[in-house]
Each structure stands twice: as C-alpha cells, then as structure tokens.
C-alpha cells in the first residue's frame, strides 16, 4: 500500500514537472504582474523568440540597460525544464533603468508597446529589429475629407496594436473591429485644418487597411476617463479562437491591400482583474507543442481549457476580463499563392 502511495506521488510529481517543461511561472517582484503576464505572451510568440535567438549580441553595450538583450535572456530561461519560477529580476531592473518603474502599477498595452520600441531603438542589428517590428506592424491609410470643399488629405501610418473602443453593453470582437474602420465626422473642437480652405473645418475621417501583420495584437480599451477619474468597463466582449479579417473588413481594405485568404488563431490573452485603481494581470497562453491552453498567475501555472478562456469575455459579475488579445496569422493555400505571385 505504501509502495502504491509513493508511486502515485512520483507520477504526480512527474506530471507537474512535465507541466513546467511546457510553461514556467514568474514570481511577483515589485508589483511585476503586468510584466510577468507580457513575458508569458512573448514567450508564446515563437516567431519573436526565433528572431532573438538569431541575434549576435556579442558587441552590444550597456548590458544592464539593454532591453532586447535582457528580454532574450529571460525568454531563454523561461524555456528551461526546471519546475521553479524562472528568474527575471535582471529584466525587471533593466526596464526600471529605462523608466518602466518598479513598485508601480502599469498599463499592459503601454508596457508592451514600450518593450517593442526599446527593441527597435537598442538592438544593434537594425535589420533584425525591423523584422521584429514588422511582426506586429498594422499598416493603415487615413483619409481626411473636408466637408466644405471636399478636398482630401491622405496619410500612411502604422500601429503595433489595434486599439478597439468597446461599448457599455455587450460587444463582439468582430463588431469592435468594424467600428474602428467606420468613417467618423470631426466637428467643433475636433475640426481639422484644411489646406484648400486655409483653416480648420469640419471633416470626415476614414481609415483603410493596407497590410496585416503575422502577429495581430488587439487592445480592448476598458479604461475610460470620466469626469477626471479613470474607471474600468467590465462590458462583455466575445472573441473567437479563429477569425478571418477579410470576411468582416471588405469595405476597409485600401487599393494597395494585397493579402487575401488569411485567418488568425488566438494564442494568448492578457487578463485584467480588479478596478482601474487597483488591479492584477494574469494570462492565458496556448502551448506550441501540445496545443493546450495554460493559465499563468505569476508563479502559479495550470492547464486550462477554451471554456475557461471564455469566462474572461466579461460581464456584470466577471472577476477578470480580457484586455489584450494575441492572434497568429495563418495563410490559406489561396492566400499563400496570391502573396507569392504578388
């Protein structure tokens, strides 16, 4: 009987060990749950880790201040096969030296964009830094038409995450994306300068999509300024595991848009719990090897299901709500042929 008990403990230990082989937790130091969560999503972005591994950083300077160098080190450590949380204090102190302070609550989307910008600025290999930048690059073209003289101004730009406004009531991701690309009238204090009229005039603004990235990061804007106070919207936002933007954004494509037949698969979700004043971040990530979902709450990691991911859609009684969504692009056979021919 005792032998059976020892055997059971051995099997349980082996199961836990295998779990941590797939995903290691991160201890919470100095209110680091925001960074911990982002590291879990970045670790699950194998395209990024592959690019960082190609980087020859032998000649890099300012080791303790170099964000991409410290990022590469901590991501390698997170792939280790040890059961204890991965050490990442050096990365946290590196961010602190770059003004992402310790012992301060941060916004996950802002820290995410800062890390990507540090990679572009501090990486010695600029071609590789550009490849990393392009992983997330959403190219758009803004059209501004004067409602008085009908002259049109256009400007091309890009984003590294798609910021989606959500309503107070129920939302779907598809509707939020559509709303982002709908034309908007700009009047009153929002009037824009018209070169034809020589002054600020009422205008109509439209955004066209020029190119989609391999990694589509979506920011659900749950924090809203109301009379000088920041409040959080726990509104329900449903999102699918798979979706094809070409099916919902046909009217939003620019004439330069050359991609076709592409679908996206969800592989990571940043979750926010609590209020705008006092909150906590966790993450759901999908493992590359076994395709299973895992839930990471700092050092605690456990296997999860798609049903558990759906509990963070939000709603009146929700404890945690999805705040950032990471989708990976997969080309269909038709899309691959179209891009190769292009």
Q: Helices 67-78 and 46-54: crossing angle, nearest 10°? A: 120
Let me know the angle formed at the C-alpha of 48 by 42 and 52, rounded to the nearest 5 degrees.
Answer: 115
pLDDT digits (tens, 9 = 90+) for 240-250: 999 998 888 87
178 near 207, Cβ under 8 Å? no
> Within 13 Å and on the Cβ side, how many CA atoms surround 245?
30
Beta bridge partners of 185: 204
Mean of pLDDT values over 246-257: 80
pLDDT digits (tens, 9 = 90+) for 30-74: 999 999 999 999 999 999 999 999 999 887 776 899 999 999 999
Per-residue confidence at 260, pLDDT binned at 50, 70, 90?
A: low
Q: Pairing relation of β-strands 320-331 and 138-146?
A: unpaired
Mean pLDDT of all residues belonging to the chain: 88
User: What is the rounded (10 degree) CA torsion for 244, 49, 107, 322?
Assistant: 40
Please give the helix or strand (H or E) that residue 229 lies within, else none: strand 229-232
Tokens of 127: 């071609």
In the chain, domain spans: 12-119, 161-182+214-342
Give dist(CA 47, CA 215) in Å, integer: 9
Looking at residue 249, its pLDDT comes to 82
For domain 161-182+214-342, give the fold: Cathepsin B; Chain A (3.90.70)
Residues 6+ positions from 149 with CB-CB distance below 8 Å:
194, 196, 197, 201
Best CA proximity match to 239, nearest among 335, 137, 321: 321
pLDDT digits (tens, 9 = 90+) for 287-300: 998 899 999 999 99
Mean of pLDDT values over 227-241: 92
pLDDT digits (tens, 9 = 90+) for 2-27: 444 434 334 434 444 344 346 899 99
326 near 266, Cβ under 8 Å? yes
């Amino acid at each position: 009987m005792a032998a059976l008990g020892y055997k059971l403990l051995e099997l349980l230990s082996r199961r836990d060990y295998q779990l941590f082989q797939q995903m290691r937790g991160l201890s919470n130091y100095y209110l680091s749950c925001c960074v911990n969560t982002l590291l879990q999503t970045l670790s699950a972005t194998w395209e990024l880790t592959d690019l960082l591994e190609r980087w020859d950083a032998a000649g890099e300077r300012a080791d303790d201040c170099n964000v991409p160098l410290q990022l590469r080190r901590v991501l390698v450590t997170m792939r280790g096969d040890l059961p204890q949380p991965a050490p990442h204090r050096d990365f946290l102190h590196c961010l602190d030296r770059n003004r992402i302070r310790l012992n301060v609550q941060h916004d996950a989307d802002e820290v995410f964009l800062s890390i990507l910008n540090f990679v572009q600025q501090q990486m010695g290999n600029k071609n590789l830094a550009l490849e990393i930048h392009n992983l997330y690059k959403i190219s758009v073209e803004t059209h501004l038409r004067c409602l008085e003289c009908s002259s049109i101004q256009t400007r091309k730009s890009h984003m590294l995450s798609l910021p989606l406004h959500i309503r107070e009531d129920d939302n779907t991701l598809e509707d939020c994306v559509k709303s982002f690309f709908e034309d908007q009238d700009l009047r009153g204090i929002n009037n824009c300068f018209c070169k034809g009229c020589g002054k600020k005039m009422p205008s109509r603004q439209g955004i066209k999509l020029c190119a989609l990235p391999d990694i589509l990061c979506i920011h659900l804007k749950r924090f809203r300024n109301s009379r000088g106070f920041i409040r959080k919207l726990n509104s329900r936002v449903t999102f699918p595991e798979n979706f094809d933007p070409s099916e919902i954004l046909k009217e939003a494509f620019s004439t330069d848009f050359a991609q076709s037949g592409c679908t996206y698969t969800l592989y990571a979700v940043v979750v926010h719990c609590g209020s705008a004043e006092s909150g906590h971040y966790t993450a759901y990530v999908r493992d590359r090897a076994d395709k299973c979902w895992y839930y990471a709450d700092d050092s605690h990691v456990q296997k999860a299901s798609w049903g558990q991911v759906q509990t963070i859609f939000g709603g009146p009684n929700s404890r945690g709500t999805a705040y950032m969504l990471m989708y990976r692009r997969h080309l269909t056979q038709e899309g691959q042929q179209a891009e190769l021919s292009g």
